[in-house]
Amino acid sequence: MALMTGNEYIESLRKLKTKVYIMGERVENFVDHPLVRPSINSVAMTYDLAHDPQYEDLITATSNLTGKKVNRFCHLHQSTEDLVKKVKMQRLLGQKTGSCFQRCVGMDAFNAIYSTTFETDKKYGTNYHENFKKYLIYVQENDLTIDGAMTDPKGDRALSPSEQKDPDMYVHIVEKREDGIVVRGAKAHQTGSINSHEHLIMPTIAMKEEDKAYAVAFAVPSDAEGVFMIYGRQSCDTRKLEKNADVDLGNKKFGGQEALVVFEDVFVPWDKVFLCEEYDFAGMMVERFAGYHRQSYGGCKVGVGDVLIGAAALAADYNGAAKASHIKDKLIEMTHLNETLFSCGIACSAEGSKTQAGNYYIDNLLANVCKQNVTRFPYEIVRLAEDIAGGLMVTMPSQADFDSPEIGGYCEKYFKGVDSVPTVDRMRILRLVENMALGAAAVGYRTESMHGAGSPQAQRIMIARQSNLEHKKALAKEIAGIK
């Protein structure tokens, strides 16, 4: 099958019998649900841009498995150039959607599982790598969106998976059969899970022998028997349910999506199992997926940052404040921070290297530095955007007030900024800043910058492991003349 268009992707979701709960209710038609549709539109953009000749080189690639043209979101990176293009593609998608476009988790899982299964097979003589290749060819040929799922609910953080009072706090194998395995548990905060065709499950932490039932990786369709999802709510989400919802949404068309994905005794055939009790490879899979996803943030968050910087600059224009030197300086600072994140994304890509399996991995130290900066800079960028926008971004009346025959005229009159700009445009841009700073898109821009791809401490552990202090001490001794 050729590359899907955005519309074909949306229609393909309708064929799935995905079991979804939203605000306490089972929803059959999640595709047209106002709380879900913006996130589907974001993923659809990853399909549409693949057909735009000006982005062909970024959004498509040649598969090393089939030699055919595939969407880069389904691609195994074949060079550092591929890694760089990945980050640039993510920046572009962030610019086009102003939100999380979700499809990266699958791409990062493909690349992590591809190399980890190769090394697992080498040690144990298993057949995971060949099976995974077959699976990925199926994904590429059908241009699927896959939820790369890592984060377990984790229960008591002081206890290992096997020590938890409730054994389901981490996804685990409950039965090994001749034809496959049966798994139970859940994955939390799953980005793009409801609008993915399939789920690719990985362990969430490094494991010891006693945790081996939890060392499991596998693929299942979204509508597999025993799988269901509970949609996560977002700040200001019910605005999407209001009549004629438009201006107050800030970003009317696009959004992100997270859900709790539950696996109630789900059967997985052996050819879809990519790790089963080889606990000493759980850590490798986790580290590689996390490394790729920390690189990803040097692209996606930068693209969304571009939109936010643009919105702040427009807010200044519409307020008549654009010429003030402190405004100009704040926009420079926002740009400096945003481009620093991009530099990290590019650097960890350019310094990548080939894995034993043949695909390319990022420089893991630099990817962790990238993500550590992402836990901070978007907060400062948001602070500056709010500073520039002014308090009206959170005190402005609703669209309904502006539309009211009785009071609309007063809203129009008193919220007017510079004469050349219609009041409604000023409202739109302030609502967009609100959306990204503390509304629905803040999930993807602000809090996700903190916790997505691992919370700050996870990166500090990785930075500590790779900081090579002994080498640095040796350098200092040499210069200081110490034997």
Q: Which residues bind ligand SF4 (CB under 6 A)?
A: 90, 100-102, 104-105, 191, 296-297, 300, 444, 448, 452
Q: Which residue has the tokens 């999640």?
A: 30
Angstrom distance (rounded) from CA 42 to CA 254: 5
Question: Residue 335 phi/psi, 5° resolution?
Answer: -65, -45
Catalytic residue among 74, 300, 370, 411: 300
Pick the closer one to ligand SF4 by CB: 268 or 341. 341
Strand order in the sheet with 273-276: 146-149, 198-201, 216-221, 273-276
- Binding segment (CB under 5 A) for Fe ion, from list 151-159, 403-411, 445-453, 474-482: 445-453
Catalytic residue among 119, 287, 434, 448: 448
Residue 101: name its binding partner from ligand SF4, Fe ion, none (Cβ under 5 to 8 Å by kind).
ligand SF4
Angstrom distance (rounded) from CA 229 to CA 301: 26
- Binding segment (CB under 5 A) for Fe ion, from list 3-11, 275-283, 447-455, 472-480: 447-455
Pick the closer one to Fe ion by CB: 10 or 300. 300
Q: What is the CA radius of gyration of the chain?
A: 23
Query: DSSP letters of 459-472?
Result: HHHHHHHHS-HHHH
Helix, strand or coil for residue 37? Answer: helix
Pick the closer one to Fe ion by CB: 6 or 452. 452
Catalytic site residue 448? yes
Pick the closer one to Fe ion by CB: 250 or 452. 452
Catalytic site residue 258? yes
Catalytic site residue 25? no
Give how far Cα 247 sits from Cα of 25, 381, 391, Å: 27, 23, 17
Angstrom distance (rounded) from CA 266 to CA 194: 17
Pick the closer one to ligand SF4 by CB: 352 or 444. 444
Pick the closer one to ligand SF4 by CB: 161 or 256. 256
Catalytic residue among 80, 116, 191, 375: 191
Residue 296: name its binding partner from Fe ion, ligand SF4, none (Cβ under 5 to 8 Å by kind).
ligand SF4
Give the residue at shortest CB distance from Fe ion: 452
Pick the closer one to ligand SF4 by CB: 9 or 101. 101
Number of residues that bind Fe ion (CB under 5 A): 1
Residue 425's nearest CA partner among 303, 246, 253 is 246
Closest approach of Cβ 362 to ligand SF4, in Å?
Answer: 13
Q: Residue 56 CA to chain centroid, in angstroms?
A: 22
Angstrom distance (rounded) from CA 312 to CA 82: 32
Tally: H helices and E strands in the chain: 18, 14
Catalytic site residue 300? yes
Q: How many CB atoms lie within 10 A of CB 241?
A: 11
Sign of CA dihedral 240, 445, 461, 215: positive
Catalytic residue among 293, 344, 361, 445: 293
Catalytic site residue 100? yes
SS3 content of the chain, % helix, strand, coil (to 5): 55, 15, 30
Closest approach of Cβ 415 to Fe ion, in Å?
Answer: 35
Closest approach of Cβ 274 to ligand SF4, in Å?
Answer: 21
Catalytic residue among 55, 74, 104, 117: 104
Residue 213 in contact with residue 277, Cβ under 8 Å?
Answer: yes
Pick the closer one to Fe ion by CB: 164 or 190. 190
Closest approach of Cβ 449 to ligand SF4, in Å?
Answer: 9
Residue 104: name its binding partner from ligand SF4, Fe ion, none (Cβ under 5 to 8 Å by kind).
ligand SF4
Residue 434: name its binding partner from ligand SF4, Fe ion, none (Cβ under 5 to 8 Å by kind).
none
Closest approach of Cβ 426 to ligand SF4, in Å?
Answer: 29
Q: Which residue has the tokens 């043209």?
A: 69
Does the footprint of Fe ion cover residue 452 (CB under 5 A)? yes
Closest approach of Cβ 452 to ligand SF4, in Å?
Answer: 5
Residue 218: name its binding partner from ligand SF4, Fe ion, none (Cβ under 5 to 8 Å by kind).
none
Catalytic residue among 198, 258, 277, 434: 258
Closest approach of Cβ 74 to Fe ion, in Å?
Answer: 18
- Binding segment (CB under 5 A) for Fe ion, from list 4-12, 26-34, 272-280, 449-457: 449-457
Pick the closer one to ligand SF4 by CB: 173 or 366. 366
- Label the pairing between strands 273-276 and 198-201: unpaired
- Binding segment (CB under 5 A) for Fe ion, from list 38-46, 130-138, 144-152, 444-452: 444-452
First CA to last CA across the chain, in angstroms?
A: 66
Closest approach of Cβ 256 to Fe ion, in Å?
Answer: 8
E strand or H helix at 333: helix 325-350
Closest approach of Cβ 305 to ligand SF4, in Å?
Answer: 12
435-462 as b/e: b if 16+ CB within 10 A: bbbbbbbbbbbbebbeebbbeeebbeeb
Q: List, in sequence order, the alpha helices (H) in 70-186.
A: 80-97, 104-124, 128-142
Angstrom distance (rounded) from CA 78 to CA 61: 10
Residue 172 in contact with residue 184, Cβ under 8 Å?
Answer: yes
Catalytic residue among 60, 74, 100, 355: 100
Catalytic machinery residues = 100, 104, 191, 258, 293, 297, 300, 448
Q: What residues line the site for Fe ion (CB under 5 A)?
A: 452
